[in-house]
Structure 1
Amino acid sequence: MKVNNPEMNMKFMQIAMKHLPEGKKFLDNKGIELNMEDLQPMLELLLNVMSEAYELGKDDATNKAE
């Protein structure tokens, strides 16, 4: 599930890129070497998780407002 909002998707990408060095360091410390091309599927997964979490929070807020 992806949010159909390019602005929100851009914010999600900015959040993912902010935390990417920490994730890469973790993998490097485990002996798993990945380049940016290898990390792309993980970024997509992270964006999907953020989109689902956003929709869940949005639905929850809507239900509480009713």
Structure 2
Amino acid sequence: MDQELNMRFMEIAMKHVQEGRAFLNEKGIELDMHDLQPALEMLMSVMNEAYNMGYDDAKKE
């Protein structure tokens, strides 16, 4: 994965972490940043795959 793109995805993810933590806390699930790391990595993979899918679609047009 491109390092610059990875950093941009991380910035987006971090912008929404508090919202995600609040949602989980409302459900009675408490997570610290160490626990959130695997979820953030999965989110980064999803964002990268979606980006590549959009990029490939744009190349076709």
When the two structures are superposed, what TM-score results if normalisation uses the length of structure 1? 0.90
Q: Number of aligned pairs?
A: 61
Could you list the runs of 5+ residues in structure 1 that have no partner in the other structure? none
Moved over 6 A (4+): none
Give identity over the alignment, percent. 59
The aligned runs of 1:44-63 (5 Å cut-off) are 44-63=41-60
Q: What is the RMSD computed on CA atoms of the aligned residues?
A: 0.5
The aligned runs of 1:27-46 (5 Å cut-off) are 27-46=24-43
Could you list the runs of 5+ residues in structure 2 that have no partner in the other structure? none
Q: Which has the higher contact order (CA 8 A, sep 6+)?
A: 1
CA deviations over 1:26-61 (Å, ceiling 9, x no partner): 000000000100000000010000000000000000
